[in-house]
Structure 1
Amino acid sequence: LSPVALALIFFYSLTKRFTSATHFFLGLALAIAPIGAWIAQTGHIAPAPLILGAGVICWVAGFDLIYATQDYDFDRREGIRSLVVKLGIAHSLRLAQVLHLFTFVTLIAFGLAAKLGAFYFCAMPLAAAALFYEHRTAQKLDLSGINRAFFQSNAFVSAIFLIAVCVDRLL
């Protein structure tokens, strides 16, 4: 499976030349990792990794939309395609909110499908709070704020998810 993921990652940069959906393509490239890891560990595909993969696609597309707002002028001038150029900054930020709401829903659905317990579900509001913080900061359209929110919030969401799954499995 890793050659497929590698090909998608390499191909991602080229997608900016022919489609505005580059953010979803990046999400797909990263979503292959948890699905592939699940298959490698269990030897089969199941609903849980597919749900998680859908969540990763939406999470990555959402944060990539926020991050791409910084490149709006350059991308328009250079003919680089993105949903930010196609929809405008305000609509792209709204789409990112919807995608991150769907991400939260898929994290809950993943917990149910993977039969995770109370610790996992109690930790998920922390991930939601980090995503909310990211959007509140992005609305200000402050470059340094977007960078800080982007890196801190997404690192926090990743860490919360990892800790929640690991601790829940160990309990």
Structure 2
Amino acid sequence: MQRAIQKAKDFNELVMFEHSIFSLPFIFIAMVVAADGWFGFWLLFMGVLAALSARNFAMGVNRYADRDIDAQNPRTSGRPNVDGRLNASSILLFIFVNAIIFIAVAYMINPLALKLSVPILIVLGSYSYFKRFSSLAHIILGISLGLAPIAGVIAVSATIPLWSVFLSLGVVFWVAGFDLLYSLQDMEFDKENSLHSIPSKYGSENTLKISAYFHSLTVLFWVLFVYYSGLGAVAYVAAIGSALVLAYEQKLVRKDFTQIDRAFFTVNGYLGIAFFTLIVIDRIVA
């Protein structure tokens, strides 16, 4: 039993389960808007299971593909995928099991979800390899999480309305923007190991500018989401208020690179939760 508990802890550390907070709020935002309120316990369970299995799959592929890179990077050399706690076979099994769970959940939701399940997994798995040949890896990561709202609305309505595309695009540039800030930590390592990233290619100052531009696009797309979904004043507060949160995040990192973890995990975590809460309040008020 103790060994099983320790293994579970190792896998939790491998995929950083707590980071699911970035995508879950936006899945449920899409579901709340698509259903015009409460969407039911069944879809709540299916939504959580789909989100967790998809993220576990993506992180598993990432950690498997990056075993050689993580072993050389002092920041990541203590991860379970490189320090002997989890071998390659166990990680591959973890990836396979989560892929099957995701496809099975999609099957139980509706035919469109099933048709898109494998293409979504392909996108999720591709991020890990992009940095080996393209600095667009940050965008690919954004797209991976940006698929969450699309998945949410498909689960409820089996359609992809325009407002969900704007919500998704906002998530794409939100994630890409904060991933740029996070990747500043590995700028020198990426240069030395011929890994492609915007910081290693364009430097820290240009990276900060690009990140700020991406976050400006985030706010724009979220305002368009509110407009085209027909939401009310509280939803506009959520969209416009995100500009203040993202501006604070940018300021935090520009002032001190040691604050990158705080900006990445804490600030973005609160943003997602606050955005979801305000959308729910808007639906209740409406």
Name the TM tier (shorter chain). over 0.9
Q: What's the counterpart of residue 83 of structure 1? A: 198
Matching of residue 20 in structure 1 with residue 135 in structure 2:
yes
Alpha-carbon deviation of 1:142? 2.4
CA contact (8 A) 1:119 1:168 kept: yes
CA distance in 1, matches of 2:185, 2:158: 42
Q: Which has the larger radius of gyration?
A: 2
CA distance in 2, matches of 1:81, 1:132: 26
Matching of residue 153 in structure 1 with residue 267 in structure 2:
yes
CA distance in 2, matches of 1:104, 1:43: 26
CA distance in 2, matches of 1:125, 1:47: 20
CA distance in 2, matches of 1:69, 1:128: 22
Matching of residue 43 in structure 1 with residue 158 in structure 2:
yes
Alpha-carbon deviation of 1:4? 2.8
CA contact (8 A) 2:223 2:240 kept: no
CA contact (8 A) 2:181 2:208 kept: yes
Q: What's the counterpart of residue 170 of structure 1? A: 284
When the two structures are superposed, what TM-score results if normalisation uses the length of structure 1? Answer: 0.93
Check 1:44–1:108 CA distance in 2 against 1; reply closer, same or farther (3 A cut): same
Within a 5 Å distance, the mapping from 1:127-142 to structure 2 comes to: 127-142=242-257
Alpha-carbon deviation of 1:3? 3.1
Please tell me the residue identity of whatever aligns with 1:107. W
Alpha-carbon deviation of 1:45? 1.6
CA distance in 2, matches of 1:59, 1:142: 19
Alpha-carbon deviation of 1:53? 1.3
Q: What's the counterpart of residue 171 of structure 2? A: 56
Alpha-carbon deviation of 1:167? 1.3
CA distance in 2, matches of 1:47, 1:165: 17
CA distance in 2, matches of 1:156, 1:116: 21
When the two structures are superposed, what TM-score results if normalisation uses the length of structure 2? Answer: 0.57
Alpha-carbon deviation of 1:85? 1.2
What is the identity percentage for the equivalent residue pairs of Structure 1 and Structure 2?
A: 35
Alpha-carbon deviation of 1:140? 2.2
1:57-82 Cα offsets, whole Å, 9 max, x none, are 11111000010011101111111111
Please tell me the residue identity of whatever aligns with 1:163. T
Q: What's the counterpart of residue 65 of structure 2? A: none
Query: What secondary structure sits across from 1:88 in the alignment?
Result: helix
Which consecutive residues of structure 1, in runs of 5 or more, have no partner in the other structure? none
Bigger shift: residues 17-26 or 161-170: 161-170
CA distance in 2, matches of 1:69, 1:141: 12
Matching of residue 123 in structure 1 with residue 230 in structure 2:
no
Bigger shift: residues 5-14 or 31-40: 5-14
Alpha-carbon deviation of 1:132? 0.8
**Equivalent pairs, count:** 170
CA distance in 2, matches of 1:108, 1:125: 7
Please tell me the residue identity of whatever aligns with 1:5. I
CA distance in 2, matches of 1:152, 1:130: 11
